[in-house]
Amino acid sequence: MGKIKIAFFDAKEYDKQSFINSNENNEFEILYFETRLSEDTCKLAEGCDVVCVFVNDDVNRAVIDNLKQMGVKLIALRCAGYNNVDIEYAYGKIHVVRVPAYSPYAVAEHAMALLLTSIRRIHKAYIRTKDFNFSLNGLTGFDLHGKTVGVIGTGKIGRIFIDICKGFGMNVIAYDKFPAKDLEIEYESLDEVWKRSDIISLHCPLTDENRHMINSETISKMKKGVVIINTSRGALIDSDALVEGIKARHVGAACLDVYEEESNVFFHDYSNHIVNDDTLARLISMPNVIVTSHQAFLTNEALTNIADTTLDNVREFFEKDTCTNEVCYKCPNLNNCKQTHEKKCF
C-alpha cells in the first residue's frame, strides 16, 4: 500500500511537535485537527487509514460505524486509558491500539508533586512571596514520614509511586483487583485501605465496576483529614460527594489532575470566560484543593515515547500480523489478559 494516512484529532502544539519529530522521515501522512473526534467531526477522517485520538475524543458506536464505513482500519490511542472507546462494539470492525506505558515516572512524580504542594502549602507560599508577604501563618503542614498511604492500582505507575513513597519513609498498603505476585506489597481490601490510609492515591484504569469508587459511602469509611490524590481518571471519584466530604471537614485535601466532566474544560483557556460547571468551580475555590488540567503525563520524555510508540503501533499493524498493544473487550484488564498478543485480536 502507499503512504499510511493518519487523521490526528484533538491536536495541541506539543502533540504536533513530538509527532513531527517522530515522523521526521515523512513515513506517514498525518493530518492534524484541533477539534476532538465525535459524531460531528469524524467525517474529517475520510480517506484516512488511521485515526489517532486522545482521552477526550468520543469513540462511541456511531463514530465507529462511520469510521468503518469510511475505510478506517485502526484507532490509535496516544494514551494508556481507553474508557472513551467502545472497545466491545469496535471488536470485529476496527482494531484499537494504545500506548500502555509512555512514562509511568511522569505520572507518579506528578502525583507526589501534587501531594507535597498541598500538604506543605507551597502554592500558597509562592503566591504570598510574590507580594513580599513572608508570614508563615496558615502554612503549617505535616510530615509524610511514618504516614500510611493507600495505593489503588499497582500497575507500572502505581509501583513507581509506591517506590517514591517508600523513599519518604511512608507505610504503604495497596489494593488491586489483580494483585502482583512478584512484589513485596501489603495488599488489603478496599475497606481496609479506606480505613487505614492517611493518604489515598488512585492509579487504576476506569471501568464500569470502579466508576465512582470514591463516593459518599466510601468517604465515610476514611480517616478524618484524609488526603485524596487522583492522576488516573476523573470518574473514579464522585465529584459532588468529594465536595460534600470537604465541606464536612472529613476530607482534609484533594489533589486532582483529572475530573469526571473535564472533556469540555481541560486543555482549553477559559480564563476570560465563566465556567458553567458549578462543581468544578466549587472545587477550585476551596483552599485545600489543587486542580491541574490533566498534565501529569506532560514531560518531554513522555511526549517522545507517546509519539514513537503510537507510530510503532501503526507500523506494526500494517506491516505484520501482530498487534502488541492492541486492546479489545476480551481483555478489559491487560494485567490479567489471557491473550499473548502474538497476533491481532480478530
Within this chain, do residues 53 and 186 fall inside the same structural domain, yes or no?
no
Within this chain, do residues 221 and 327 fall inside the same structural domain, yes or no?
no
Within this chain, do residues 153 and 254 fall inside the same structural domain, yes or no?
yes
Within this chain, do residues 119 and 173 fall inside the same structural domain, yes or no?
yes
Within this chain, do residues 21 and 79 fall inside the same structural domain, yes or no?
yes
What is the separation, in whole angstroms, between the first and last Cα of the chain? 21
Q: Which amino acid is at 342?
A: E
pLDDT of the residue at 334: 47
Q: CB-based contacts of 71: which residues, under 8 Å, 6+ apart?
A: 47, 49
* Of the candidates 200, 181, 113, the residue with the CA atom closest to the CA atom of residue 335: 181
Q: How many domains does the chain have?
A: 2
Residue in 233, 260, 301, 315 annotated catalytic: 233
Is residue 341 in a domain? no
Is residue 77 in a domain? yes
Within this chain, do residues 173 and 305 fall inside the same structural domain, yes or no?
no
Range of the domain at 311: 4-102+299-336
Is residue 283 in a domain? yes
pLDDT of the residue at 305: 95
Is residue 280 in a domain? yes
Within this chain, do residues 98 and 238 fall inside the same structural domain, yes or no?
no
Is residue 216 in a domain? yes
Is residue 344 in a domain? no
* Of the candidates 45, 132, 41, 26, the residue with the CA atom closest to the CA atom of residue 94: 45
Is residue 342 in a domain? no
Q: How far apart are CA 344 and CA 154, in angstroms?
A: 27
Specify the CATH number for the domain of residue 83: 3.40.50.720
| Residue 262 designated active-site | yes
Within this chain, do residues 244 and 328 fall inside the same structural domain, yes or no?
no
Within this chain, do residues 65 and 120 fall inside the same structural domain, yes or no?
no
Contact 74, 50 (CB under 8 A): yes
Is residue 345 in a domain? no
Within this chain, do residues 141 and 266 fall inside the same structural domain, yes or no?
yes
| Residue 294 designated active-site | yes
Q: How far apart are CA 55 and CA 34, in angstroms?
A: 14
| Residue 233 designated active-site | yes
102: which 3 cell numbers?
509512555
Within this chain, do residues 155 and 180 fall inside the same structural domain, yes or no?
yes
Q: What are residue 52's phi and psi, to 5 degrees?
A: -110, 120
Question: Cα 156 to chain center, whole Å?
Answer: 13
Half-sphere exposure of 11 (CA within 13 A, CB side): 18
Contact 36, 62 (CB under 8 A): no
Contact 247, 222 (CB under 8 A): no
Within this chain, do residues 174 and 272 fall inside the same structural domain, yes or no?
yes
pLDDT of the residue at 346: 81
Strand partners, 254: 228, 289
Residue with cell 499493524: 317
Residues in the chain with pLDDT values less than 70: 1, 330-342
pLDDT of the residue at 335: 44
Residue in 294, 316, 319, 341 annotated catalytic: 294
pLDDT of the residue at 299: 96
